[in-house]
Amino acid sequence: MDYNEIGIIAFQEKRYEDAAKAFTEAIENNPDEAIGYVNFGNLLAAMNDSERAERFFQKAITVDEKTATAYYGLANLYYDAERYIEAAKLYQKAIEHGIQGADAYYMLAKSFERDEKVKLALPYMQRAAELAPNDLQIRLSYGILLCTLEMFDVAKDELEFVLVKNPKSADAHYNLGVLYAVSTEDTALAMEHLKEAYTIDSNFDQAKYIYDMISQRHN
């Protein structure tokens, strides 16, 4: 077992000091390998030491500019710091260099969304949903994005999929209620979903507000 593996196990067990020692050994033994710097960066990010984490991710990219996980780790730091344009560029780099799974596509889409570029977000959110069809957070986000773009038929399918898997998703009920309210004449179904949303989550004031607004309009 090498030092990176030892460090990852310690990291997963939240033995951060042991993880730091192991990753330091990994870097000292193989200073020209990017993985040790990435692992140390991930550790520091988990410990909310963003400044040092940033330096380790940047060092990893300097050592090997094709290290997808370094771009991804750095992108997450920038996303959390609300630097969405920079984050988007780095998620794209991570994808270009072959990062696996749906997360980078999802986070790239979220970066574009936060930067109010919803049309740019769409293909990446769609790809994330294709790669992780059972990830309800991704499918919900895809449905909400489709609603934003007024692609209501496809959005309805996504939101209904989420509710089949998780009937207690207040967000899915809320967005489906709004969808029915704005794109159909079926106010009863709109109100049913909105009521379900604020019944599940008593703090869902927006759902209650829209429910009351529709109710008053039709009385």
* CATH number, residue 215: 1.25.40.10
Residue-averaged pLDDT of the chain: 97
- Does residue 217 belong to any structural domain of this protein? yes
Our count of domains for the chain comes to 1
Average pLDDT over residues 129-141: 98
Q: Is residue 219 very low, low, confident or very high in pLDDT (cuts 50, 70, 90)? A: low
pTM metric for this prediction: 0.93
* Domain ranges, residue 176: 134-219
- Cβ pair 171, 204 in contact under 8 A: no
The pLDDT of residue 217 is: 83
- Does residue 181 belong to any structural domain of this protein? yes
Alpha carbons 44 and 19: distance in angstroms, whole number: 10
pLDDT at 218 over 90: no
Neighbours of 37 (CB within 10 A): 26
